[in-house]
Amino acid sequence: MNASQRHEFFRRLQAANPQPETELEYTSPFELLIAVVLSAQATDVSVNKATRKLYAVANTPAAILALGEEQLSGFIKTIGLYRTKAKNIIATCRILLERHGGEVPAERAALEALPGVGRKTANVILNTVFGEPTMAVDTHIFRLANRTGLAPGKDVMEVEHKLLKNIPEEFLQDAHHWLILHGRYVCKARLPECWRCVVVDLCNFKPKTLISPEGTS
């Protein structure tokens, strides 16, 4: 995919969804941080179901720390790896209170120093909360970047660096959300729905057919 094709790729995604947003529900940077930590190997739908109940009771570092690990586990037990996540969240809340005045830090190093927060989570917070043009490469973005030819790479870091290099600057701020949503709902893992893809003619992937479930091509 050349530079002009990449520009057109994102122009179309922008036209289809001018103001893309995360599907995780949150009302503060802290709520988003916890939701992203919980979303590892879990769906946004399952995280939202859990956090609606949790945040109604505790939605600050102090309040969640006061709950303790066992009570927190009760709120998130429907989410995979919930015991490990509960332990990490309690530790993160303690660090936020002790080192950052209860606020979510805006620096990558400080974010990645929080238990359960890796590069991808830090990128989400830096992009969504602090407006930095970062690229959080999840399974959807990794698949889409390779399948379309937008930024092929053998690992997450390679794809991240290529995306940051290849995406036109004017689209970089929202590109993370466009790619996730496109990978989640259109460019699906097993059966990409090319028949309704707005960038199908720019993509390297060549499906056997563009026939829709209704039988129209």
Tell me the CA end-to-end span of the chain in Å, nearest whole number. Answer: 24
Residue 214 has pLDDT above 80, yes or no: no
* Confidence at residue 140, expressed as pLDDT on a 0 to 100 scale: 92
Q: What is the pLDDT of residue 160?
A: 96
Res. 215: pLDDT tops 80: no
Answer whether residue 119 is part of any domain. yes
214 within domain boundaries: no
How wide is the angle at C-alpha 192 spanned by C-alphas 190 and 197, nearest 5°?
170
Q: What is the pLDDT of residue 210?
A: 54
pLDDT band at 208 (very low <50, low <70, confident <90, very high): low
Domain annotation covers residue 95: yes
Q: What is the CATH number of the domain that holds 179?
A: 1.10.1670.10
Contact assessment for residue 50 and residue 78, using Cβ atoms and an 8 Å cutoff: yes
Give the domain range for residue 147. 3-19+135-202
154-198 tens-digit pLDDT: 999 999 999 999 999 999 999 999 999 999 999 999 889 999 999
**Could you say which of 128, 157, 187 is where a domain stops?**
128
Residue 87 has pLDDT above 60, yes or no: yes
Q: CA 140, CA 145: separation in Å to the nearest integer?
A: 9
Instruction: Return the structure tokens found at 92.
Output: 């993160």
Write down which residue in 87, 106, 128 finishes a domain: 128
Q: Is residue 90 part of a domain?
A: yes
Q: What angle do CA 167, 157, 144 make, to 5 degrees?
A: 55
What six digits make up the tokens of 189? 């893992």
pTM listed for this prediction: 0.88
- Indicate if 168 and 103 belong to the same structural domain: no
- Say yes or no: 140 and 112 in one domain: no
Q: How many domains does the chain have?
A: 2
Q: Examine the domain organization and report whether 150 and 92 are in the same domain.
A: no
Positions marked catalytic: 120, 138
208 located within any domain: no
Which residue, 86, 105, 128, sits at the end of a domain?
128
